[in-house]
Copies of this chain bind each other. A is one copy, B any other.
Amino acid sequence: MSIVVVGSVFYDTIETPHGRAERQLGGSATHFALAASFFAPVRMVAAVGDDFGADALAVHRARGVDLEGVQRRAGTTGRWTGRYHEDMNVRDTLDLDLGVFADFQPELPPSYRTAEYLFLGNIDPTLQENVLEQLARPAVVAADTMNHWIDNARPALEKLLRRVQILLINDEEARLLSGEHNLVRAARRILGMGPSSVLIKRGEYGVIHFSGDSVFAVPAFPLEDVFDPTGAGDAFAGGFLGSLARAGALGERNVRQAIVYGSVMGSFIVEDFGFERLSRLEAEDVERRYRQFLALTEVA
């Protein structure tokens, strides 16, 4: 089963307590696609500027990611500068320049339109729906969103949510979207908005998944060195949806295993700046940490 992902491709400048990296390739589509490529064929949709390096996505290409949907346009690639606190759950955006992303109009190559899995990265919900419209008959639609869209584009977001099966969202966003502080109540209210499945991301505390009849919670993989948290949520989503696409069906067991694979990919990406760690990763590293993750959480 193949996955279409639409999202951002940005040059990030990142400061963490461990150091600083400039012009690091990032963005939701970038991180998602690379993480998902360990599990299933991925087709990427995004916009980059004429300053974009010809080889900037060479790692993706080498891993078989289809880049036909990455539009090169006149203007500059989006740029984000952020600084993480010692508590790396907290970050400040120091600078943001959307570049060609500001008037991005996603257009899917014909070969993309029959993909079965769709990931709508964190962009304007109107664009997310626009991409959804271009797919013939996606079997599974998953979406991410953020505070900005909840505050400023709620009607479009609510319209989209009625067509999304799986919503990935962090705890603060879940509270904002639902108006409920308690996460169990927040999830229940979001399930009433359309999705049959809500995945609440809690950073270093892991993930909790709610669907009609089940709750599943996993901690994050405990790491001695969290180097750069950027992209953890998108790498999680890539591992999660990639694993689901590889399994080919949405049963509870598949969903739980996919959440663990998502956690595994999230745990790798934070070990270095940008997607450096994923670019050196082998399939056997993924399986080894998957087994370690099971050992971390197995009661008996």
Contacts and interface: CB of A to CB of B under 8 A. Distances in A.
Interface of A: 86-87, 181-185, 202, 205-206, 208, 214-219, 222-226, 253, 256-257, 260, 294-300
Contacts of A225: 182
Given A86-B181, A184-B223, A297 B202 contact: no
A182 B226 contact: yes
B219 A206 contact: yes
Contact of A300 (B202, B215, B256): B256
A275 B299 CA distance: 27
A62 to B, nearest CB: 31
A70 to B, nearest CB: 35
Given A182-B226, A205-B205, A257 B299 contact: yes
B299 A256 contact: yes
A216 B185 contact: no
Contacts of A205: 202, 205-206, 219
B299 A217 contact: no
B224 A219 contact: no
Given A256-B300, A294-B299, A299-B256, A185 B219 contact: no
A296 B216 contact: yes
B222 A184 contact: yes
Given A256-B299, A260-B299, A297-B299, A219 B222 contact: no
A218 B219 contact: yes
A280 B184 CA distance: 24
A262 to B, nearest CB: 12
A223 B217 CA distance: 12
Given A182-B224, A219-B219, 15 more contacts: A86-B181, A87-B181, A182-B223, A184-B222, A202-B205, A205-B219, A206-B217, A208-B219, A215-B296, A216-B297, A217-B222, A256-B298, A257-B300, A294-B299, A298-B299
A117 B240 CA distance: 43
Nearest to A180: B224
B185 A224 contact: yes
A297 B299 CA distance: 9
B217 A217 contact: no
Contacts of A214: 295
